[in-house]
Copies of this chain bind each other. A is one copy, B any other.
Amino acid sequence: MTTRKPSIAPLRKDAQRNRAALLDAARTVFAEEGLDAPLEGIARRAGLAIGTLYRHFPTRMDLVGAVMAEKKRAWIKAAEAAVVIEPAWDGLTFFLERVCELQAGDLAFNDIASMRFPYAAGIEAARKRAYDLGRRIVERAQAEGSLRPDITAEDVAFIVWAHSRVSEATYAIDPHAWRRYLALTLDGLRATAAHPLPVPPLRPRQVLRAQLRLGRRRLR
């Protein structure tokens, strides 16, 4: 996230300025083009040479991690808020709405939320935290009887995956279209809507493998 030196040395003024410009450019470009956007474009937009980008962020994931820091915080904050909302159903909808909102309009976060990238330590830590909270949100809503009992926290991964494509398709055409689809999804999650499900849920390990697979495919 910072430049990986054990470093006590503070950055020089110009370096600080340039680092900020790179983050700024990267935020915009990643959001518009996704995690695999050419790094040269980011350097250009920041008005700097490609070598400077590499000095500050030796790997793509260092840059991604730095850019995603705020979004990560927003993600966890949403989960922390949701887990205490009453009734628990409202907590669940609040959580899903916030996650989808973060995904919509930011292709990079969209990728981050539905995929997994080895060696992106900062991001993975946040994800772990968000998932643990997600599990509690699900269990709470089931306990109160509003969320159908036959789903598991792993099924939330389905929702994130599904929404990631919906958002990718529609954000530039109608920035609120995803709300309609999320509402349909929620209607299927209500205890009152439940019909037997044909196959068992994914196991946590399977979700992880699926996310890794998507990530590999994305940054092939």
Which residues from chain A sit less than 8 Å from chain B, CB to CB?
34, 114, 151, 155, 157-158, 161-166, 168-170, 172-174, 176-177, 179-181, 183-190, 192-195, 197-202, 206, 209-211, 213-214, 217
- The reply to whether B183 and A197 form a contact with Cβ atoms under 8 Å apart is yes
Which among A162, A172, A189, A192 has the highest number of chain B CB atoms within 10 Å? A162
Task: Report how far A173 CA is from B210 CA in the complex, Å.
Answer: 7
Identify which of B34, B151, B169, B199 contacts A114 (C-beta below 8 A).
B169
Q: Inside 8 A of A114's CB, which chain B residues have their CB? A: 165, 169
- The reply to whether A198 and B181 form a contact with Cβ atoms under 8 Å apart is no
Q: Inside 8 A of A195's CB, which chain B residues have their CB? A: 183, 186-187
Q: Inside 8 A of A157's CB, which chain B residues have their CB? A: 169
Task: Report how far A129 CA is from B105 CA in the complex, Å.
Answer: 32
- The reply to whether B166 and A161 form a contact with Cβ atoms under 8 Å apart is yes
Q: Inside 8 A of A217's CB, which chain B residues have their CB? A: 34, 168
Identify which of B162, B185, B202, B211 contacts A177 (C-beta below 8 A).
B202
**A38 CB, min distance to chain B CBs, angstroms:** 11
Task: Report how far A164 CA is from B162 CA in the complex, Å.
Answer: 8
Identify which of B151, B172, B179, B197 contacts A213 (C-beta below 8 A).
B172
Q: Inside 8 A of A202's CB, which chain B residues have their CB? A: 170, 173-174, 177
Which among A169, A193, A202 has the highest number of chain B CB atoms within 10 Å? A169
- The reply to whether B165 and A161 form a contact with Cβ atoms under 8 Å apart is yes
Q: Inside 8 A of A161's CB, which chain B residues have their CB? A: 162, 165-166, 169
- The reply to whether A198 and B173 form a contact with Cβ atoms under 8 Å apart is no
Identify which of B172, B179, B186, B188 contacts A186 (C-beta below 8 A).
B188
**A29 CB, min distance to chain B CBs, angstroms:** 14
Assuming the A-B contacts A180-B198, A183-B198, are A213 and B169 also in contact, with contact meaning beta carbons closer than 8 angstroms in the complex? yes
Q: Inside 8 A of A214's CB, which chain B residues have their CB? A: 165, 168-169
Q: Inside 8 A of A164's CB, which chain B residues have their CB? A: 165
- The reply to whether B155 and A162 form a contact with Cβ atoms under 8 Å apart is no
Task: Report how far A192 CA is from B192 CA in the complex, Å.
Answer: 9
23 contacts between A and B (CB under 8 A): A114-B165, A151-B184, A162-B166, A162-B181, A168-B214, A169-B213, A170-B202, A170-B206, A172-B213, A173-B206, A174-B202, A176-B198, A176-B199, A177-B202, A177-B206, A179-B198, A180-B197, A184-B185, A184-B197, A185-B185, A187-B194, A190-B193, A192-B193
